[in-house]
Amino acid sequence: MARTATLNNSGFADGVRWGFTAPFRAIGGFLIRLAESSPRAKAVRRLNATSDAELAARGLTREGELRRIFGALYY
């Protein structure tokens, strides 16, 4: 019976792919952390944690607060 040797390159290819994409993943992760640490993102997280009833008790609306947070950037 003859035996044939096979070479499985899937592990090698995965390693090369992982190494090639590492800088892009690092840059993407940095940009996400940068955006999430901005004062606007923190304010939006606080707004999301506030209920509509709490906003109404203070005489505020969610839309109005978003306008205040983002100012001239979007509105």
Reported confidence tier of residue 19, pLDDT bands at 50, 70, 90: confident
Model confidence at 18: pLDDT above 80 = yes
Q: In the prediction, which pLDDT does 65 show?
A: 94
Task: Tell whether the model's pLDDT for residue 71 goes beyond 70.
Answer: yes
13 or 23: which carries more pLDDT confidence? 23
Residues 40 and 70 sit within 8 Å (Cβ to Cβ): yes
The DSSP result for 12-73, as a single string, is HHHHHHHHHHHHHHHHHHHHHHHHHTSHHHHHHHHHHHS-HHHHHHTT--HHHHHHHHHGGG
Does residue 7 register a pLDDT over 60? no
